[in-house]
Amino acid sequence: MHAENPTARALLALEVLQGSPGITAERLADRLGVSERAARRYVGTLREAGIPIDSVRGPYGGYRLGRGVRLPPLVFDSTEALGLVMAVLDGHHDAGDPSDPVGSALGKLMRALPEPVVAQAEAVRRTTSPAPDRSAARPEPATTAALVEACTSRRRVRLDYRSEAGSEWLMDVDPWAVVVRHGRWYLLCRSCQADARRAYRVDRVRSVELLDDAFTPPAGLDPVATLDEHLASGWEYDTEVVIDAPLEAVARCVPRTLGRLSAVGPQTTQLTGSTSNPRWYAECLAAVPVPYRIVRCAELREAARAIGQRLLDAAAAAER
């Protein structure tokens, strides 16, 4: 005779209750291979663990799981549940729209949680409307899932890609990572044809074909830092800025997308990069809280002058 494992039996009882709503104690005992008294004891164990189990007496009665265990038990507290809703809203999804895939999925999670845990989160979900993020570009979930799977399994893929200009082409790439930056989803990868690092917008991928070839990503790859470095190079205007502060201090206030930082002295840092939008670049630099000088890029210097003059004009108008 096998020694009884109460925890294992209780979990097996939970599985039976999930699959057989309204099951009687007699049938539950038969399924577990125990006495009715033992079956009722396992139900009591589940109730003590906080799993709601309703029981109905009579010839048509039995045990039925209550709210909170439609899925395998989700161990969230109220703070975690609220944090989940807020994360969805921060992504500018309509968390209360059941026709939206994210709203629908979140609704299922909310229905799977006990009322005392989910009350606050459910109120926020139903009453809060996120502002639309017009710069965000969300890819198809199926496309993203296929690329994430390829990254995880380290399998080469063939992409059908459409550029912003409307050009279309097929390419084979080694997918290193999927990275979300500034409201956009990127595939960081190695182009097999060019044998070079590339970053492609996932929302512009038209189809993904998983190939048989395997690959090994670069050792010590930091996907976010590598993507930011990639996005900061190869644009129309090359830039160079000297900043009067130590490298450590500058790194905390200069976005990686502006370029590469290097120390040229104990109190001096060099920023080298490129941009297709000097005005945007100058606006980013304006937020740097230490002195700096634009060494290279006439277009960037002109954009900085225009921004500086606009600020001076605004201050002068306030003094009149």
Tens place of pLDDT per residue across the chain (320 aa) = 334 556 667 778 887 887 788 899 999 999 888 899 999 988 888 888 778 888 887 666 788 887 655 545 556 667 767 777 776 766 666 677 777 777 777 777 777 777 777 777 777 777 776 666 666 677 888 888 889 889 999 999 999 999 877 889 999 999 999 988 877 889 999 999 999 999 999 999 999 999 999 999 999 999 988 998 888 887 889 999 999 999 999 999 998 889 999 999 999 999 999 998 999 999 999 999 999 999 999 999 999 999 999 999 998 876 66
Domain ranges of the chain: 6-65, 78-127, 141-221, 232-316
The pLDDT of residue 264 is 94
Per-residue pLDDT reduced to its tens digit, 156-183: 999 999 987 788 999 999 999 998 887 7
- The phi and psi torsions of 13 (rounded to 5 degrees) equal -60, -40
CATH number of this structure's domain 6-65, picked from the four choices 3.40.50.880, 3.30.43.10, 1.10.10.10, 3.40.50.300: 1.10.10.10
Q: Are 229 and 222 in contact (CB under 8 A)?
A: no
The pLDDT of residue 1 is 37
pTM value is 0.57
The pLDDT of residue 181 is 80
- The phi and psi torsions of 148 (rounded to 5 degrees) equal -65, -40
Return the closest-CA partner of residue 271 out of 284, 236, 222: 284
Fold (CATH) for 232-316: Alpha-Beta Plaits (3.30.70)
The pLDDT of residue 319 is 64
CA distance 265 to 211: 49
CA distance 116 to 95: 20
Cα atoms found within 13 Å of the Cα of residue 236, Cβ hemisphere only: 7
Q: Are 252 and 280 in contact (CB under 8 A)?
A: no
What the block records as the tokens of 282 is 């100058």
The pLDDT of residue 3 is 40
Q: String of b and e for 116-145 (b: at least 16 CB within 10 Å)? A: ebbeebbeebeeeeeeeeeeeebbeeebbe
The pLDDT of residue 271 is 96
Helical (H) or strand (E) element with 153 = helix 141-153
Fold (CATH) for 141-221: SH3 type barrels. (2.30.30)
The pLDDT of residue 135 is 65
* Complete edge-to-edge strand list for the sheet that includes strand 168-181: 196-201, 184-191, 168-181, 155-162, 205-214
CB atoms within 10 A of CB 57: 7
The pLDDT of residue 217 is 94
